[in-house]
Structure 1
Amino acid sequence: MQVDLEFDYEKNRVKTLAVAKANHLKMKEVLPNGKKVELQEIGEDGSPIYYETYSDDASQTSRASSLHTNGILDLDLDGLGMQVGVWDAGVALTTHQEYDVRATIVDGSSEIDGHATMVTGSLISSGIKKGAQGVAYRANVLSHDWTRDKIEVTEAAANGLLLSNHSYGIKTDRVPDWYFGSYIKVAQDWDNIMYNAPYYLMVTAAGNARHSGDNESPIFGTSADGFDLMLGFTIAKNGLTIAGSNSKIDNKGNLKEATVSAYSSYGPVDDGRIKPDLAGDGSSILSTDAIGNTSYDVSAGTSMATPGVTGALLLLQQYNEQLYGAYLKAATLKGLALHTADDVDAQGPDYKMGWGVMNAKRAAEVLFQKDFSTHISENTLTEGETFSYTVAAKGGETLTASISWTDPASEYINRGDLNNTTAALVNDLDIRITQDGKTFLPWKLNPKNPKAEATQGDNLVDPFERIEIPNANGSYTITVSHKNNLKELNQDFSLILTGVSLTECKINAPSRLALSNALDNQITLAWAETPDGLYEVQYRNENEEVWISEMVTSGIKEFKNLILNEDYIVRVRTFCSQNMASEFSMEYKFTFEGTDTFVGELDMNQVLNAEGAVDFSVFPNPAVHQINLNMVVGESAMYRIVSASGVELKVGPAKNEPIHVEDLASGLYILQIKDQEVYKSTKFYKN
């Protein structure tokens, strides 16, 4: 593919230079507002296609901070060891104090650009200047100019690049009206790159042309309505296109309100696809500037909204690798971002901010809760097959199901037909949810009336579909199928579910711990099990600080090779999925004396709070002079009374007769009984 793109580039470059010379076109220019414009290529219809940066002069907040050290989730995510590509009008000032050695010029370009430097800062600035810290502030940027963007991205993606940021696009006032919303060759090329590199995702700015009036023949209304302004690679099916928003976020990371920025370009795409896909806050951002190594500036626009989203996506890839040892496919990452976006105004997507405002906090929570209350899987649908999955709803919540896939590039490209509605979608997958004969359908939009709210129906154009069922209850069947034939006879897709209950496991600390079967060098610990539970047992010699940890699938664990007359501490916790775990149980301290082993001190706070820790009871309770057991014990049974602070106060034989407590001060106590190899405990009050 890289070789093919190189050939196309050289061929078009010759044509571009010839047309520019014959028509006295400038190859590069700097506009009065400081924007850089460059002639990139000549379109198939002969139109000169100019690239421009999508920013204007003007502060930003990013919810990706929820993932940082001391953030709301306190995940310590910072982008360390991660790489992100930046293509722009030029390259970043890599010597800026905010970057250290984490910004590298890859393509040999020597043209330092202020816009590229600001985008790079929004991604990786370390925060030497307060308020200028980037989203992934320890990541690395690979900086390039935009001249050979497709060729260079192809090579980088083949070498493992996960994300690239493109805060530029075709200049809207220099192309005919039919270009707007059209699936042209540049969109086809980018879709082809992403289809062949399934872990690579392109993130691009939607543009700032809302009030330009440059499209005089939009697919809906008039140019004053602001619809149908997407151009070039912003229309690619497989990438993420980012609108600008003005957002207010509370101190818990919740979106309080959001409106689309006044400059941000609207969709739809001519075939009705949902573009832009997401919104980021690009209202006013402090970032690095190229004037000097300590210079900064403030800017706004979809150019500045885009790196906020790109950086957040990079942190989510870092998080998934930490949790599960692998990166997400691009379709999964894109689907996760669209699935968890904060809806704005009416329910469902729109052609202004797509699926809503990026919510990195919620996306990280969905990753963490995987296989407990969320489901994320990467699957393959073979031609003629149907994928089915039955799940129980988490009662009273919204059940949300999404499918996302990287679609093959369309063989159809527009060559001059105004507002042609031919669908660019190649493999049309469908998601449906059924319950008791009722079928729930995904969201869709109507390009003939882009002001209308989203409806549920058969989505024929988008490579992402989402269904929401408010107040879901009971069991639901999710089905994924396809229409017509599948190119290559199969299609990979990602399935994301939230608001579901995937296990009967309860995240409660194990209770009713008991030691038994003491032998010469081993002893058995048992506890009450929970359905589907996995248990982590930790133990250590009291004289050592490091816990020895082992995982078991049942409520029993044998400890072998213990040393006589040594003191040990043991505790247990429940795992209901890879990450969803309870607190540890009460800590048992015991002295191993072979068959005479007896439980020692307990962590009293955990004993008193442990669900189900009481195995029997005593009466009267509260007691004044004595307590009686409500059970029969053997002749060799022993009792032990421990204070609430863990101090042993009384020890003696439990002879099925009253235990005197009149010598105890008023307060709460724990009574332990050892009857043969069984241990039980309860609490009582002394008046």
Structure 2
Amino acid sequence: DMDHCFFNQASIPTSTQNNNQRKVIQYIPHADDTDDKNGHGTHVCGTVAGHKSSNGVTGEENSDNGVAPNVKIAFMDVGETGEPYLSIPSDAQLLSTGRYRSYDENAHIHSASWGTSVTDDNRENANGYTQRARNFDNYMYQSPDFLVLVAAGNDGKFNQANSVGTPATAKNILSVGAHINDVDNMHKIAYFSSRGPTQDGRTKPDVLAPGDSLTSASAGKNCGLSQKAGTSMATPATAAAAALVRQYFKEGWFPQGVKGKGSEIKATGALVKAVLMNGAQWVTDVEGGGTTVEPYDNNQGFGRISLTHSLYLAGKTAALLDVDEGVVEDGEDKVYDQTIVTANGCAYPEFRATLVWTDEPGIAYGRNNLVNDLDLLVTRKRNGTADVDYRPNGRLLKDSVNNAERVIVDEVEEGDVFEITVAGANLATDEQSYAIAMTGCLSGVSYTAPVNPVSNTSDANDSKTKFIVIVGSVVGTAILALLM
């Protein structure tokens, strides 16, 4: 709803990308150019980037603004009012929304609040590695700057396994489930949130975000708000968090946690994904009960996103962050060393390392869709002796199925040394690029202990930098691209 104050601007956006617009820089009416009374597209866009404006020129501070209010939106409408099914264009056209300019002017994040509903009749296909899932993987493989986020789906009632629907079954995208939006119950997965695994055994969803009773923009009301629930709501919240991670690196917050102290980094999609997954926190229950929730299971994946645990802000968050982007050849090992330092006041109890790589697309409907297999191994040295090896994703042995791997080590001590190995275990190509994120009381960077700890939001949100997100949703729905 372009009349809503969250999106108010001097002129109506067209299908031609115009980055000078205040908020919506492109509107492609693929299905139609209206939102229905349900206001799905208006709501998801408000979550990711809503920014109240009275004059259509300047934004205003408001507690109801979106998670990343300075993001700009490229929008594709794929839902026709009154019609039950979506009108989806070709995958290439869909994913190119907001990406018709130079690198710095293009969208780097795509948020898709739509997907295939999974039933008993279509589960084998809809929950599989479809041609669309393959196309999404291929687009990201060919565009390493790009990160696509897809709603896992709302077919998880009665704790139904294998209910994540394509294209959320793709490897390289970030599949988003929902948890309860309540401080006292944020450890609970929303009862409707779709569950994994995929048909080829990969863990989905990847992460969770608030998706129950989210308040955002309401269509047909100038500054009105409404509450909605669904993984459609969780996905734009996560896309906005991804935008803040990109901003963190772009504005030089890394590694000292102070804006402008570091060099600009043009983060890849794999790096943004690694940082978000590295900081994700466990949930322990499902709304309504009925099942046991375990780390890395197909209810929660890596857990609920938490920028507080993903990014280091000097004096505000507890753990230092280190990252790298590299390339490994078949049979090669890349090794990183991290030493735990607590004498400076750092008291973070864990060491975490997360490896993510954007894999070459597999074969549609294949049963083993990991093409290049990398392995993450963390070895602890205490008092000069290597005493424990840690394998990823809660496994006793290596993971040869997923292209995201994380190790969490609890109860670290001063002087512990961690040797982190990224191994090119079994590559079908000559080499594979990757991103790794590590957090803890790490040596090598000055540490400022938290004085006024932040909540689960990033201080990078105060920037005036403009980003573009691609949003996709249903009736009155968007394909949403974030420009940053």
Q: TM-score range by the shorter chain?
A: 0.7 to 0.9
| 1:392 Cα deviation after fit | 1.3
CA contact (8 A) 1:432 1:439 kept: no
Tell me by how many angstroms 1:207 deviates. 0.8
The equivalent of 1:458 in structure 2 is: 398
Aligned partner of 1:328 in structure 2 is: 267
Amino acid at match of 2:426: N
**Matched residue, 2:155:** 209
Could you tell me which of 453, 464, 468 is aligned with 2:408?
468
Look up the match of 1:517. none
Aligned to 1:407: 359
- Cα drift, residue 497 of structure 1: 1.4
What amino acid does structure 2 have at the position aligned with 1:430? D
Aligned-residue CA RMSD in angstroms? Answer: 2.8
1:183 matched to 2:117:
no
Say if 2:392 and 2:407, in contact at 8 Å, map to a contact too.
Answer: yes
The answer to whether the Cα contact below 8 Å between 1:318 and 1:327 also exists between their aligned partners in 2 is no
Amino acid at match of 1:490: E
Per-residue CA deviations over 1:30-81 (Å, capped at 9, x if unaligned) read xxxxxxxxxxxxxxxxxxxxxxxxxxxxxxxxxxxxxxxxxxxxxxxxxxxx
The question of whether the paired residues in 1 share the 8 Å contact of 2:156 and 2:195 is answered with yes
Q: Which residue in the other structure is 2:179 paired with?
A: 245
Structure 1 unaligned regions, length at least 5:
1-92, 212-223, 251-255, 415-419, 445-453, 509-687
* Equivalent in the alignment of 2:438: 497
> Which residue of structure 2 aligns with residue 162 of structure 1?
108
Structure 2 contact 355–435 (Cα < 8 Å) conserved? yes
1:424 aligns with 369
Q: Determine if the alignment matches structure 1 residue 349 to structure 2 residue 296.
A: yes
**Kept after mapping to 1: 8 A contact 2:327/2:432:** yes
Deviations 1:402-424 (A, max 9, x none): 111111111x221xxxxx7x221
Q: 1:495 to 1:231 in 2, by over 3 A?
A: same
Are the equivalent residues in 2 in contact too, given 1:320–1:367 (CA < 8 A)? Answer: no
Q: Shift of the alpha carbon at 1:294?
A: 4.0
Structure 2 residue 225 is the aligned partner of structure 1 residue 296: yes
Report the Cα offset of residue 285 of structure 1. Answer: 2.0
Q: CA deviation at 1:341?
A: 0.8
- Tell which structure's C-alpha radius of gyration is larger: 1
Q: Does 1:199 align with 2:145?
A: yes
How much does 1:438 deviate? 4.0
Q: Is residue 95 of structure 1 aligned with residue 3 of structure 2?
A: yes
Name the TM-score, length of structure 2 as normaliser.
0.72
Structure 2 counterpart SS, 1:376: strand
CA contact (8 A) 1:348 1:443 kept: no
- C-alpha deviation, 1:432, in angstroms: 0.9
Do residues 281 (structure 1) and 210 (structure 2) align?
Answer: yes
Aligned partner of residue 483 in structure 1, secondary structure: strand
Q: Output the amino acid matched with 1:403.
A: L
Distance change (3 Å), C-alpha of 1:295 and 1:478: closer
Are the equivalent residues in 2 in contact too, given 1:157–1:200 (CA < 8 A)? no
Which residue in the other structure is 2:476 paired with? none
- Tell me: CA distance 1:190–1:290, structure 2 relative to 1, closer, same or farther (3 Å): same
**Match for residue 481 of structure 1?**
423
Conserved 8 A contact 1:393-1:501: yes
Amino acid at match of 1:413: A
Q: Is 1:268 the counterpart of 2:220 in the alignment?
A: no
Tell me if the contact between 2:311 and 2:321 (Cα under 8 Å) persists in the aligned partners: no
State whether structure 2 residue 63 is matched by structure 1 residue 142: no
Does the 8 Å CA contact 1:337/1:360 hold for their aligned counterparts? Answer: yes
- Residue 329 of structure 2 corresponds to residue 382 of structure 1: yes
CA contact 1:247–1:259 (8 Å) conserved in 2: no
Residue correspondence of structure 1 range 645-656 to structure 2 within 5 A: none
1:112 aligned to which of 20, 34, 37: 34
In 2, distance between residues paired with 1:430 and 1:338?
Answer: 17
- Greater relative contact order, per chain length (Cα 8 Å cut-off, separation 6+): 2
Give the letter aligned to residue 8 of structure 2.
D
User: Conserved in 2, the CA contact under 8 Å of 1:431 and 1:478?
Assistant: yes
Asked if the contact 1:391–1:500 (Cα under 8 Å) also holds between the matched residues in 2, the reply is no
Measure, in 1, the Cα distance between the counterparts of 2:388 and 2:423: 14
Match for 1:242: what amino acid? Answer: V
Higher strand proportion: 1
Deviation at 1:439, TM superposition (A): 4.7
Alpha-carbon offset, residue 192 of structure 1:
0.2
TM-score by structure 1 length?
Answer: 0.52
Q: Could you say which residue in structure 1 is the equivalent of 2:287?
A: none
